[in-house]
Amino acid sequence: MLGVSGRPASPDGKTILPMRNHGVTMMSLGLMTNDDEAVVWRGPMLMGALQQMLMQVQWGALDVLLVDLPPGTGDVQMTLAQKAQVDGAIIVSTPQDIALLDARKGIDMFRKLDVPILGMVENMSTHICSRCGHEEHIFGHGGVAAEAEKMGVPLLAEIPLDMTIRLASDGGAPVVVSQPGSAQAAGFLALARTLVGQGVA
């Protein structure tokens, strides 16, 4: 999604050089495996990979480090909260009730681990037909906003289900890079500005 490929280099066999594109320094477990290879790892292997990402990657000077976690309330989330100083968690969910069940559990877990909840993001919030302009709420509407209000956390952004976003990501240049002035980029930019305003990023 950031237009990087190939395996990261390791100059000494111990440290890993991260990849960089569009002004973003990044590292992914996916870069360490073959494209069609599943990562079938149990807890201890995942914990080792997480610690390797945190301690062995030469991150350099960063404004902020975002960690994209798998869904759920498992070992990875708990280990990250216990082994690193986490300034906050952003909960991403679609508006449908079944997805919000998992979001609630995630919020509860982070609160039990004393990780502040920075807010929620509603993904696939709405879809506007590219032919007729009709707006349709495929996964329901307002579910994340209502949940955020109930939980006492801010709604940070509503990201639409949009072909432009998907095509930009598949093309390796996120929509905020390829079309920064577009309506599709607006939600992402608003999210970033809010986090900067909170002093997080």
Residue pLDDT, tens place only, 9-21 = 988 988 999 999 9
The Cα 77–Cα 56 span in angstroms is: 19
Same domain, 127 and 87: yes
> Which of 72-81, 83-92, 186-195 has the lowest average pLDDT?
72-81
| Number of structural domains the chain divides into | 2
Residue 115 has pLDDT above 80, yes or no: yes
Q: Given pLDDT bands bounded at 50, 70 and 90, which one contains residue 121?
A: very high
Query: Of 53-62, 68-77, 107-116, where does mean pLDDT reach its minimum?
Result: 68-77
Report the alpha-carbon distance of residue 91 to residue 131 in Å, rounded. 32
Residues 54 and 78 in one domain: no
pLDDT (0 to 100) of residue 86: 92
Same domain, 78 and 162: yes
Instruction: Look at residue 201 in the predicted model and tell me its pLDDT.
Output: 63
pLDDT given at position 159: 93
Are 136 and 55 in a shared domain? no
**Which domain range does residue 31 map to?**
1-62
* Whole-number pLDDT of residue 114: 93
Same domain, 106 and 188: yes
**Residue 89 clears pLDDT 70, i.e. is over it:** yes
2: which residues sit within 8 A by CB, 6+ positions away? Answer: 19, 21, 22, 24, 26, 172, 174
CA count, 13 A, side-chain hemisphere, 172: 5
Residues 47 and 109: their CA atoms lie apart, in Å, by 18
Q: Tens digits of per-residue pLDDT, 125-183?
A: 988 888 888 888 888 888 999 999 998 999 999 999 999 999 999 999 999 999 999 98
Residue 111 and residue 55 share a domain: no
Please report, in angstroms and rounded to a whole number, the separation of the first and last CA atoms in the chain: 21
Neighbouring-strand partners of residue 127: 136
Specify whether 12 is located in the same domain as 27: yes
Q: Based on the domain organization, do 6 and 100 belong to the same domain?
A: no
Give the end of a domain, one of 33, 62, 91: 62
Whether 110 and 81 have beta carbons less than 8 Å apart is answered as yes
Q: Pick from 28, 62, 96: which residue ends a domain?
A: 62
CA dihedral 149, 155, 194, 118 (to 10 degrees): 70
pLDDT tens for 25-62 read 999 888 877 777 777 666 777 778 888 888 899 999 99
Q: What is the pLDDT of residue 59?
A: 94
Residues 122 and 182 in one domain: yes
Q: Judge contact between 124 and 114, C-beta under 8 A.
A: no
Both 107 and 32 in one domain: the answer is no
Confidence at residue 40, expressed as pLDDT on a 0 to 100 scale: 67
- The verdict on 102 and 19 lying in the same domain is no
Where is the domain boundary, 29, 62, 95? Answer: 62
